[in-house]
Amino acid sequence: MAYDKAGVDLLEIDSRMFGAKESVDSLHQEIAEFFYPERANFTQEIVYGEEFASHLTDFYPVLVRRELGDQLGSMVRPADRQWFKAAASNEDIARDRSAAEFLEFMTSVNRSILYSRDSGFRRAAKEADNDFATFGMSWRQVTYNKKRDNLLFRCHHPKNCAGAEGPDGQVWHVHRKCDMTAHVMAHWFGEDKLPQAAKDALAKKDTKSTFKLRHVFIPLEIYEPYRKFPKGAKWADIYVTEEGKILQELPAFTFDYIVPRWQTVSGLFYAFSPSTIIALPQARMLQRMMMTIIEAGEKQVDPPLIATDEAVTSPIDLSAGGITYIDSEYDERLGAALRPIDLGKNVALGVDLVNDARRLLADAFFINKLAPMASAQREMTAYQTAQIVSEYIRHALPLFEPIEDEDAGRTLDLVTEKVMRAGGYGPVDRNGIPVDMPDILLGQNITYEFNNSLKEARDRQTINAFQESGQLIAMAAQMDPSTVAEVDIRTAFRDAFGSVPGSRADWLVDQEQAQMGRQQMEQAMAQQQQLRQASEVATVAGQAGAAAQEVQAAMNG
């Protein structure tokens, strides 16, 4: 078969990268066997059938892993609310109404793409959550579909992926093993580029046979493409067969893999899950303990027997109504010819030990720490509520910060880049910037804010701070009314108002419009004051005129 020298060179890099992670795959295999049996095919194949997960006697380790994976999704991406919104990193710009409205438009476009029927985002995110909880990292790929009118999200098995860090410590180089059928290869690469074996399978309409490929996402700093790539490209997007034939070599302007890493150790690229690393010994012990308890319970319910040699003359029948015959000449005073061994005592002690082990596993997987905030009771003071919120944030931050930043944040950043390049926010100029973007946003760093339980807790702190500040200002104003001038009440109010759950950017007018509104109100109040004064003057004049008339009448009378 024909091959390309560049393809062979890529396969050499591929071999080194996958060889370096063999020990990591072995660790992940053992972790998966106890916590994620569906993924336990790193170093061996899974036989889905009667023997699946037969090594497990207790399901609790699998349960806490599933619970943590579900928590990640429900806390970072809650389904009952708009969980993210585009924002400007500069707070002054974020308060501009035109900027806020365009950012809300970007948020709406991104959400419609993520939750479109064909994007696969929800399924990929669910799989990635469980990989992250179990192995401490996950591998997702974001690409355009064939028509480039939508994005495709796919989560890949960690065993099939190898990566490396760039100079900035971020993931910038990925190799992935992938098996494709001939018709899928023809869809993506075109029939002409396929190897002969794939062409033959396509001609036979063989939809079962797969061909082994490598997907390589490599920075141009360490790869020289066949043809000159356009300016701005930073990576090469390559598919190559195991024989070294390149099927695709495209320029890439965005890094299309999202690889969040939970707990890292200096000098190592691959991350760990702090939950499964500390819980693995406990999970091993729990399986042995549960097996011991099961055996003890069986011995207590169906105990082993001791039979006196030659005294029992028939097969022992322990079934209901069964009969076992004893030699009639056997002297029972020498002991029962057939008696149970009294084993399996104090099973309750074993159950207590198992419950302790399960409690420790729940702690390792943050299950107890992530219980919803003790819904701040209505009779609580603002200070008590603030303390509960602060405690929740302290417990939740170690878990949510990595996945909020490296997973959700990177996903939205990548979606924004890809949508903008494809004109999803409207026509773009020659620099790739939407022409409808307000000038105030040009050159600004667009970030994302998250509306989840952690954000809600932080917002509640802002609202509580505003309320406490209001009480303090009121107290100070009673002593010295001029102290009100020491505080920018309007800015404090706008920040607190923006923290109210469900508030929208267009509910607050921009600063200039607000200033005009205040001036109009002041003018209206001044006019009303003038009218009142004029009315009072007229009233006084009328009263004076009436009094003068009365005096004149009295003098004439």
Facing residues of 340 across strands?
A: 305
pLDDT (0 to 100) of residue 458 = 62
Residues of the chain with pLDDT under 50: 1, 373-378
Amino acid at 150: N
Would you state the structure tokens that stand for residue 459, as one six-digit string? 């917002």
State whether the Cα torsion 469-470-471-477 is positive or negative.
Answer: positive
CA atoms of 174 and 164, how far apart (whole Å): 7
**What pTM value is reported for the model?**
0.76
CA atoms of 186 and 195, how far apart (whole Å): 10
pLDDT (0 to 100) of residue 319 = 77
What secondary structure letter does DSSP report for 312?
B
Would you state the structure tokens that stand for residue 59, as one six-digit string? 């399901």
Report the Cα 305 to chain-centroid distance in Å: 56
**Nearest Cα to Cα of residue 487 among 504, 503, 506, 465:** 465
Give the residue carrying structure tokens 């890529």: 10
Q: Are 403 and 72 in contact (CB under 8 A)?
A: yes
Give every CB contact of residue 155 below 8 A, 6+ residues apart in sequence. 123, 124, 125, 127, 128, 131, 138, 139, 140
pLDDT (0 to 100) of residue 346 = 66
Q: Are 257 and 141 in contact (CB under 8 A)?
A: yes
Question: Angle at which helices 196-203 and 182-189 pack, to 10 degrees?
Answer: 110
CA atoms of 242 and 224, how far apart (whole Å): 20
β-pair type (257-258, 305-307): unpaired
CA atoms of 465 and 473, how far apart (whole Å): 12
β-pair type (171-181, 210-219): antiparallel
pLDDT (0 to 100) of residue 7 = 87
Q: Are 220 and 233 in contact (CB under 8 A)?
A: yes
SS3 540: helix
228: part of which helix (H) or strand (E)? Answer: none
Q: Are 113 and 148 in contact (CB under 8 A)?
A: no
**Nearest Cα to Cα of residue 282 among 494, 64, 517:** 64
Report the Cα 108 to chain-centroid distance in Å: 19
pLDDT (0 to 100) of residue 496 = 63
CA atoms of 138 and 133, how far apart (whole Å): 9
Facing residues of 248 across strands?
A: 239
Question: Angle at which helices 274-301 and 22-35 pack, to 10 degrees?
Answer: 40
Write down the domain spans for the chain.
278-364
pLDDT (0 to 100) of residue 1 = 45
CA atoms of 190 and 245, how far apart (whole Å): 14
CA atoms of 14 and 163, how far apart (whole Å): 10
pLDDT (0 to 100) of residue 377 = 47
CA atoms of 431 and 526, how far apart (whole Å): 51
Q: Are 174 and 163 in contact (CB under 8 A)?
A: yes
Q: Tens of pLDDT along 280-307? A: 999 999 888 888 777 777 777 777 777 7
SS3 523: helix
CA atoms of 65 and 134, how far apart (whole Å): 7
Per DSSP, the residues of 174-200 read EEEEEEEEHHHHHHHH-GGGS-HHHHH
CA atoms of 425 and 419, how far apart (whole Å): 7
Q: Tens of pLDDT along 338-360? A: 777 776 566 676 778 888 888 99
Per DSSP, the residues of 412-472 read HHHHHHHHHHTTTTS-B-TTS-BTTS-GGGTT--EEEEE-SHHHHHHHHHHHHHHHHHHHH
Number of Cβ atoms within 10 Å of the Cβ of 101: 14
Q: Are 93 and 440 in contact (CB under 8 A)?
A: yes
Q: CA distances (Å), 197 to each of 186, 247, 249, in order?
A: 12, 14, 21
β-pair type (446-450, 210-219): unpaired
